[in-house]
């Protein structure tokens, strides 16, 4: 037996088709959602992700605003670009692509975003709302994991979800989503300080590997019939992208969201969803 594929690429394409219809409805009311991106530095991976986000926007009918700064940009220069997008009426939501250069304080920058324009769900106000159970934009990667499982009717309620990783974009907010009443999973959060990772992962009904450590989850750690979501992205010495889940691990699993083609495309689709949802709920312009 080998795992069936949770096809994030195909699911994201279906979501984009649905968003196209919603964007057309907004256009009839004179509302054009616009996604801004602020990209600092010249990391080729980050450039590729951001380019993908703008392609997605074009496909769905969302306007896009691209801001690029050199790796040497100061905090003040980045803050000035954030302020511009906060004030630009054509920009209804935006993101600051992470990671930022080392001399920049990420949390300070994220905190400068107008929470009403937080497309990533990573502003402290948005994360606070998530903790409090209030409506707001949700972090795109966890939101994409829930959405992919739902669309394949993989049961979440009552499942033991083991999250590996505690990064701010994926691992940390993951447990907050999966333990909401609407998801009702039991979550164990693992990280580099976990004593016996293999033993914990072996108890999982759903493994969410978001550590960014190539091949960390091996076949011996997978309970037969488990569901595997590969969130981690690393590059091998040869420049090939590799996930956190070793290829053999899918043998015993029931389902796998592979990397590539799984959670990455879903993350992008959820960013678009956040932008459209914000435009739909924004107070009607005169
Ligand atoms: N403010 C911010 N928000 C983010 O959401 C954010 C970020 N910064 N920084 C980096 C991470 C990473 N991330 C990915 C999104 C899509 C793919 C994706 O679509 N990957 C393709 C493969 C891409 C390839 O072939 O290189 C796939 O998995 O099929 C990957 C990674 C969003 N992130």
Distance spanning both ends of the chain, measured CA to CA: 59
Q: Is 233 annotated as a binding residue?
A: yes
Q: Can you list the domains of the chain with their CATH numbers?
A: 29-117 (3.40.50.10860), 140-264 (3.40.50.720)
264 Cβ below 6 A of ligand 1: yes
Q: Tokens 């997605």 map to which residue?
A: 56
Task: Tell me which residue has tokens 């750690």.
Answer: 221
pLDDT tens digits, 258-286:
999 999 999 999 999 999 999 998 765 44
Note whether 70 and 88 are within 8 A (CB).
no
Does ligand 1 lie within 6 Å of residue 97's CB atom?
yes
Cα–Cα dist 102/219, whole Å: 36
Q: Is 37 close to ligand 1, i.e. is its CB under 6 Å away?
A: no
pLDDT greater than 50 at residue 55: yes
Q: 144 labelled as ligand-binding?
A: no
By most ligand atoms within 8 Å of CB, the mutation choice from 118, 233, 242, 243 for ligand 1 is: 233
Nearest CA to ligand 1 atom 20: 264
Parallel/antiparallel/unpaired status of strands 241-242 and 234-235: antiparallel
Any known ligand binding at 166?
A: yes
Report pLDDT digits (tens) over 141-187.
999 999 999 999 999 999 999 999 999 999 999 999 999 999 999 99
Q: How far is CA 125 from each of CA 114, 118, 161, 227, 275, rounded to the nearest angstrom? A: 10, 9, 26, 32, 17
Q: Cα separation of 141 and 265, whole Å?
A: 10
Contact 268, 119 (CB under 8 A): no
Cβ count within 10 A of residue 233: 18
């Amino acid at each position: 037996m080998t795992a069936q594929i949770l096809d994030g690429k195909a699911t994201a394409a279906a979501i984009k088709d649905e968003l196209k219809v919603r964007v057309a409805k907004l256009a009839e009311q004179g509302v054009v959602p616009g996604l801004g991106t602020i990209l600092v530095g010249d990391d080729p991976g980050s450039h590729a992700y951001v380019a993908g986000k703008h392609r997605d926007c074009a496909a769905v009918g969302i306007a896009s605003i691209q801001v690029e700064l050199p790796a040497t940009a100061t905090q003040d220069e980045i803050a000035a670009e954030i302020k511009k997008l906060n004030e630009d009426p054509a920009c209804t939501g935006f993101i600051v692509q992470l990671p930022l250069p080392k001399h920049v304080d990420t949390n300070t920058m994220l905190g400068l975003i107008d929470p009403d324009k937080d497309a990533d769900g990573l502003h402290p106000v948005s994360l606070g709302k998530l903790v409090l159970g209030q409506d707001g934009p949700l972090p795109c990667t966890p939101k994409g994991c829930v959405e992919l499982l739902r669309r394949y009717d993989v049961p979440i309620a009552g499942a033991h979800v083991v999250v590996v990783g505690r990064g701010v974009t994926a691992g940390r907010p993951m447990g907050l989503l999966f333990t909401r009443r609407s998801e009702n999973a039991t979550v164990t959060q693992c990280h580099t300080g976990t004593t016996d990772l293999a033993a914990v992962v072996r108890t999982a009904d759903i493994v969410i590997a978001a550590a960014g450590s190539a091949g960390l989850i091996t076949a011996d750690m997978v309970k037969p019939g488990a569901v595997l979501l590969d969130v981690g992205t690393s590059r091998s010495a040869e420049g090939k992208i590799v996930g956190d889940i070793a290829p053999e691990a899918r043998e015993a699993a029931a389902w796998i969201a592979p990397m590539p083609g799984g959670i990455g495309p879903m993350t992008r689709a959820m960013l678009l969803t956040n932008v459209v949802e914000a435009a739909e709920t924004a107070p009607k312009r005169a």
